[in-house]
Amino acid sequence: MVTKVQYTVDTELSLKLFQEGASAQENFDSSIAGKCRDGEFGIFYQMDRLEAYGLKGVFFVDPFPALVYGPGVVARIVEPILKRGHEVQLHIHTEWLEFARDHELAHLRGRNIADFPLDDQVRLLDQARALLMIAGAPKPTAFRAGNFGANDDTLRALSALSVPYDSSFNPAFLAGECDIDLPPETPPFSEHMGVGIIPVSVIEDRPGSIRAAQLCALSAWEMRDGLRHAAEHDWPCFTIVSHSFELLSRDRTRVNPIVQRRFESMCLNIAEQTRLEGAGFEALQPQRRASLAKLPANLVRTALRYGEQAVSRIRYEVGILSTLFLNEFAAIESVVAI
Ligand SMILES: [Zn+2]
């Protein structure tokens, strides 16, 4: 049995850049195309690399920037993704409502979709879906809330709108903004409030501590072990989170080569394992349910990621690490075959 690996990319313009006065083009260049002084590392680069390995990505596109920039910029995101054979699904950041003009829902306020009563959630999701479809997307079959900020009413709203899958449930965010009332060990395809739940996959990095399968959160070694564990234990799917700007430094001026290398390693691992297949939500097989045993903790692997993230933060966020230390760390990485 093959494990379907969903590489999901939350694809979104930046509200912060909008507030700082960025035009639609400037925001697109930074947030979507990932332009920085080292080149372009956003969705077009990510699609290039996925295609080089024969993989298909899922792009959760937030259509709400259309409320301030107009619908054209969302169409410019959706069209190339579909043209290249990848999947577009629905994402939503309700923070944009505060800046919307001349829109029937512009009076609504909330950081997360879960902040709204059920009736308004239905209206907001219906509007977002319509905006995405106006931009050229087929009717979405899956949804992910911005900030993973969904609750059970979000699922009820999706059910009312006949959206079959939700991927907002992130067991590593249950102490944060994810308010869906399910236990962390919930397996894919669990039905909750009339919707199929496809959780963000997690690994255990220390006994009793879980981390989401996200490019910026797991080392290449952790991701590889997580993928292998999923295949060996016949998981129906393994769901990875990324962003259109995930490969950039936090200030978005440079590529983060550590995350770039993790992405390349992830693609290679999915492509070379015959029991893994990069796929979208359209390829899921709802009849396959499983109880998932998490990848158990490996403290050496966790410690090395701490080191890698420290390097990433210092070298690419602060920019003061010596090249010597960076080279030494690269050597450690190659020894452990990350
Ligand atoms: Zn988002």
pLDDT bin (cut points 50, 70, 90) of residue 315 is low
Q: For residue 336, what pLDDT is reported?
A: 39
Mean pLDDT of the chain: 88
Q: How far is the CA of 190 from the centre of ligand 1 (A)?
A: 23
Write out pLDDT tens, residues 275-285: 999 999 988 87
Distance between CA 14 and CA 24 in Å, rounded?
Answer: 10
Distance 10 CA to ligand 1 centre (A): 5
> Per-residue b/e over 188-197, b at no fewer than 16 CB within 10 Å?
bbbebbebbb
Q: Are 60 and 9 in contact (CB under 8 A)?
A: yes
Nearest to 325 by CA among 299, 305, 307: 307
Calculate mean pLDDT across residues 280-294.
69
* C-alpha span between 147 and 229 (Å, rounded): 27
The Å distance, Cα 210 to ligand 1 centre, comes to 21
What is the per-residue pLDDT across 107-160, written as a single tens digit (0 to 9) for each? 889 999 999 999 999 999 999 999 999 999 999 999 999 999 999 999 999 999
> Would you state the pLDDT for residue 293?
64
Fold held by 3-294: TIM Barrel (3.20.20)
Distance of CA 145 from the midpoint of ligand 1 (Å)? 7
Q: Residue 321's pLDDT is what?
A: 38
Comparing CA positions, the residue from 20, 11, 3, 93 lying closest to residue 44 is 11
Question: Residue 176 — very low, low, confident or very high, per pLDDT cuts 50/70/90?
Answer: confident
Q: Which residue has the tokens 């050496």?
A: 300
Distance from Cα 60 to the centre of ligand 1, integer Å: 8
Confidence of residue 324 (pLDDT cuts 50, 70, 90): very low
* Distance from the alpha carbon of residue 154 to the mean position of ligand 1, in angstroms: 16
pLDDT of residue 238: 96
Q: How far is CA 71 from CA 74, 119, 299, in A?
A: 6, 25, 48
Rounded to the nearest angstrom, the distance between the alpha carbon of 209 and the centre of ligand 1 is: 24
Give distance in angstroms: CA of 67 to centre of ligand 1: 16
Residue corresponding to tokens 């001349």:
102
pLDDT at 337 over 50: no
Query: Which pLDDT belongs to residue 327?
Result: 38
* d(CA 265, ligand 1 centre) in Å: 24
Neighbouring CB atoms inside 10 A of 274's CB total 8
Task: Return the structure tokens found at 17.
Answer: 């850049």
Provide the token pair at 180: 């869906």
Band of pLDDT at residue 1, cut at 50, 70 and 90:
confident
Between 171-180, 197-206, 327-336, the lowest mean confidence (pLDDT) is in 327-336
Domain residue ranges of the chain, discontinuous segments joined by +: 3-294
CA distance 4 to 78: 23
Q: How far does the centroid of ligand 1 lie from the alpha carbon of residue 174, in Å?
A: 17
Query: Which has the closest alpha carbon to 168: 196, 187, 143?
Result: 143
Local structure of 285: helix, strand or coil: coil
CA of 334 to the centre of ligand 1 (A): 33
CA 237-243-244 angle, to 5 degrees, is 125
pLDDT at 326: 40
Q: How confident is the model at residue 310 (pLDDT cuts 50, 70, 90)?
A: low
CA of 285 to the centre of ligand 1 (A): 26
Residue 106 pLDDT class (50, 70, 90 cuts): confident
Section 218-237 average pLDDT: 94
User: Confidence class of residue 266 from pLDDT cuts 50, 70 and 90?
Assistant: very high
**Does residue 318 carry a pLDDT above 80?**
no
Q: Residue range 278-305: average pLDDT?
A: 70
How far does residue 98's CA lie from ligand 1's centre (Å)?
16
Q: What is the mean pLDDT of residues 178-186?
A: 93
Q: Give the distance (Å) from ligand 1 centre to CA of residue 12.
A: 6
Centre of ligand 1 to C-alpha 101, Å, is 21
